[in-house]
Chain A
């Protein structure tokens, strides 16, 4: 958020954009493991419309409950009207992110039956909406980092010069970031790598589909750590190292996450040395998507 700190004031549009990005980040942090669970899609195939409505109502009620003390907005909702409105927005965000990511991994294709498509989206949107509802709890500033929300310019401005403690040793900061990325990616990748979803998803994706998935991984990684103003962000800016430029941090952490994905797949014998290169590449990109989300979460927890 160094850009924001130079601006004299944060426009309401920028603030709204940040809030929405935080919601999306939360949705994926909580929802990614569910996205890679085929039973969720399968159950969606034969979910009756009545059950879909029930799932939507359940998601909405959970969002209202979570919005009382969490939600995704930097400014906490004060009135019931706001809580209800934020919950409706949260549900819409969950539905959109769930639908987009299901299309991205090739689970929803055009020309399929409407009821099956709606079922998959609605069932996948339930965990995504919980992620939106707890986005702040996951990702907001911790109190010791100053009361100002990340969105307010004053809160961030101290970070520009770099902390003196770290100033002489940017390697330490870089290593700490790299370690956190590796740890976060390992936690997520190790829980997904042994499952059948990786070959299933990879098998259904064409080369453009894989490229899109790579693009989405990079974008999400960037969004989670930089746009959403999450977690220990002011502290992060004080910490020097090659992880500090947003673009290079995103790229390096994506590469580290791919490395972890590769390692986990080899560990769980999803790929063997004699398998073709295309299979290695496809599986790595597919597992790299949740691994990158885990890696970004790991850096936030630092």
Chain B
């Protein structure tokens, strides 16, 4: 409906920005089209690169322990679980085992998903100082 108008309303100031004198496309439309195409090329290029270089390493987990914090009788042990593999791990279960005063104590938590090269944080809670606790990933699922 505005076809005619667009042509007549070309302002002189925008003329020099036009890339093509033939197409009725305005300079502004060219700019957004070119930006869009560059973005699409980037996205498609990235996806194709991921496809062509399938680094299909299975999920592999590393655990970093944070500083223990105690409040009252309770000890909090923050852990960061990093997936160094390429595949996503689902239902990643982290357990901490602590043996103190002849008693064994266990704390565990489950992450829904930890994608490849990503990490997630959680806190395990113990009733004794977990400085000697053994923390590891005990199971995960392939989504």
Contacts and interface: CB of A to CB of B under 8 A. Distances in A.
B71 to A, nearest CB: 18
Interface stretch (B5-13, B94-102, B126-134): B5-13
Given A9-B9, A122-B47, A45 B33 contact: no
B3 interface: yes
B87 interface: yes
Nearest to A12: B26
Interface string A18-53: 001000000000000000000000100110111011
A107 to B, nearest CB: 11
Contact of A45 (B2, B11, B54, B88): B88
A46 B2 contact: no
Contacts of B74: none
B50 interface: yes
Given A15-B28, A50-B51, A45 B115 contact: yes
B106 interface: no
A75 B1 CA distance: 6
Contact of B88 (A76, A89, A116): A116
Interface string B33-70: 10111011001101110110010000000000000000
Given A89-B33, A89-B36, A92-B36, A75 B3 contact: yes
Given A12-B11, A88-B36, A152-B2, A56 B115 contact: no
Contact of A53 (B5, B29, B48, B115): B48
Nearest to B53: A49
Nearest to A119: B115
Contacts of B28: 11-13, 15-17
Contacts of B19: none
A113 B118 contact: yes
B29 A92 contact: no
A114 B46 contact: yes
Nearest to B43: A95
Contacts of A187: none
A91 interface: yes
A301 to B, nearest CB: 23
Interface in A53-99: 53, 56, 74-76, 78, 82, 85, 88-89, 91-93, 95-96
Given A91-B40, A113-B116, A16 B29 contact: yes
A113 B117 CA distance: 4
Contacts of B116: 113, 115-116
A10 interface: yes
A148 B1 CA distance: 8
Given A88-B33, A118-B50, A112 B118 contact: yes
27 contacts: A9-B11, A10-B9, A11-B11, A12-B11, A13-B26, A15-B26, A16-B31, A42-B143, A45-B88, A45-B113, A46-B87, A46-B88, A46-B115, A46-B143, A49-B48, A49-B54, A52-B50, A53-B44, A76-B1, A78-B3, A88-B40, A96-B39, A116-B117, A118-B43, A118-B47, A118-B50, A151-B2
A205 to B, nearest CB: 15
A184 interface: no
A5 to B, nearest CB: 15
A56 B43 contact: yes
A114 B117 contact: yes
Looking at A50, A78, A114, the one whose CB has the most chain B CB atoms below 10 A away is A114
A151 B115 CA distance: 45
B63 to A, nearest CB: 17
B1 A149 contact: yes
Contacts of B51: 48-50, 53
A42 B26 CA distance: 41
Contacts of B33: 85, 88-89
B36 A45 contact: no
B27 interface: yes
A14 to B, nearest CB: 8
B122 to A, nearest CB: 13
A12 B14 contact: yes
Contacts of B90: 46
